[in-house]
Amino acid sequence: METAFLKVTSNVIAQMENAINQEQIAIKSNSELLKKEFSNANRNNLISIQLANAVTLKLGDTGAIWRSQNNEHKKEFDSMFRLLSEYPDIEFEFICSVG
């Protein structure tokens, strides 16, 4: 079972006060499989990930999930962002799969 670590940083929260479209969730994994998949993500190659066997998001950056890249999943993104931003800089570990 592969896992990924997600967090909203205090820097992102501070940036949101001065700029729009800065909502992002940092993501990383110790899994070699997930690291390889994440390394292929970019704005032209969005990778679909599923967290906790329930939440689907698009990864378009090697280290961040951006709200602007999750138009189809805004509700899921906003819910995850809201939870993680309540605990800035704390990593949450989730079961994660790609595809």
Give the model confidence (pLDDT) of 28-69 as tens digits. Answer: 999 999 999 999 999 999 999 999 999 999 999 999 999 999
Mean pLDDT is lowest, of 18-27, 37-46, 87-96, for 18-27
Residues facing 6 on adjacent strands: 27, 92
The three-class DSSP label of residue 65 is strand
Query: Domain extents for the chain?
Result: 3-98
Rounded to whole angstroms, the Cα distance separating 57 from 77 reads 7
CB atoms within 10 A of CB 52: 12
Phi, psi of 59 (to 5 degrees): -105, 120
